[in-house]
Every structure is written in structure tokens, then in C-alpha cells.
Amino acid sequence: MAVIQISKIQIRSGLNENLPQLDTGELGWSVDTRQLYVGNGTAAEGSPEPGGVTEVLTIYSPIGAALANVYILEEEIAAVAANVANLQNTTTGTVFSITLADATTNGNANLVLSNSDTHTIDYNIVRGAAVRVGSIKVAQLFGNVIYEDDYSENTSTGVTLGFYCNVNVATLTYTTTSTGTPATFGYYLKSYV
């Protein structure tokens, strides 16, 4: 009958401040910071940093934690991109984006509603660190535009939205204040009969 022996493999461990010199390829575990290190080796062995240790990146390493956050951020960006792609592929509208000049300016936002349907405009305005996210419900009645703008912003974007109506054509207008930074106005138009 064969003899089976189970061996325990253990690596050096202790507080990070007491991490000893590790031999070539020897592992060391820091129990307080949850970081893993491996010995670099000697100059004779060709180590570029003889006598030192190299950290094996984990989620507890400062760099590893930052990378983990980058991966999470990349996943969130991919999810947002997928949502934007879904919006762009719908039959009811398209995502548009225009730049509003950095000046005290009155203008129109290239958004013209040319029939009497009810519309919803989901939008965002970004100007430097200022962000405004909102939704405008628009209806036309006998040549008059009735609209409701529901939004929130972290700080003032310096942009005011409104509508100008000429017969059955309503045009989204804006007024901006000069802040040193142009604003980006992105919107998605949904129409209902």
C-alpha cells in the first residue's frame, strides 16, 4: 500500500513593518496590510533590484485597489455606452449634442418641433464641472407652447432654456452667461401623438 503524506506549505508572514529579507522567489505575507511580496534575488542571479522585494498586486495593494476601481469604472462606462447605443437605435428619436457658445448669448438649440404632438426632451448640459440633467415636457396648443422643465444641477450652468413659437413650429431657445467655458447640450427627443 502506498504511503500518502500531506504537507503544509507555509510562507513567511507578519506585520508589514517587520517584513524580513526574502530569499529569491520566497513569498512573504503582510497580515496587517494584506499585501503579498516575493523576494527579488541577488545580483549574481541577475536581479535588477537585488536584495529587495517585489509586491504581488492584490486588491489590497494601493495600485491594485486603484486598478480594481478602473475596471469597475470601465464596466460602468461600457454600460452607459450600451444605454446610449440603445437610445440611438430606437425608432422614436436620436441622441444629439451641440455646443453652446461661451458668451452672453441668445440663440436656438437646433431643436425644432414642427407639429402638434406632445414631446419629451431628456437632456443634459455640461459646462466645466457644472452639470444639469433634466426633462422637458412640451405641448403646442393653438400656436402656443406649453412646457415644463424639470431638472437638477450640481451648480449653475449659466444656461436658461425656453421656447419660441411661430404658428405650429416651436424652437428650443437658450440664453447663456459668460463663464470662460462653452457648454455642451445633449438631448434625446421622444414624440407622442
Residues 6 or more apart whose Cβ sits within 8 Å of residue 60: 33, 34, 35
| Residue 145 CB burial class (10 angstroms; 0-12, 13-18, ≥19) | middle
CATH number for position 109: 2.60.40.1680
Residues 28 and 110 in one domain: no
Pairing outcome for strands 159-166 and 169-176 = antiparallel
What is the span of the domain harbouring residue 26?
Answer: 12-86
Local confidence band at 92 (pLDDT 50, 70, 90 cut-offs) = very low
The verdict on pTM exceeding 0.95 is no
Identify the weakest region by mean pLDDT among 36-40, 97-101, 158-162. Answer: 97-101
Work out whether the CA dihedral 60, 63, 64, 65 comes out positive or negative.
positive
Residue 89 has pLDDT above 50, yes or no: no
Per the domain annotation, does 137 fall within a domain? yes
Residues 6 or more apart whose Cβ sits within 8 Å of residue 95: 84, 87, 88, 186, 187, 188
Using CA atoms, how far apart are residues 115 and 121, in angstroms rounded to an integer? 15
Which of 86, 113, 140 is the last residue before a domain boundary?
86
**Per-residue pLDDT at 69:** 57
Per the domain annotation, does 154 fall within a domain? yes
- Angle at Cα 17 formed by Cα 14 and Cα 19, nearest 5°? 50
Local confidence band at 79 (pLDDT 50, 70, 90 cut-offs) = low
- Domain tally for the chain? 2
User: Which DSSP letter does residue 18 get?
Assistant: G
Nearest to 19 by CA among 51, 62, 63, 59: 51
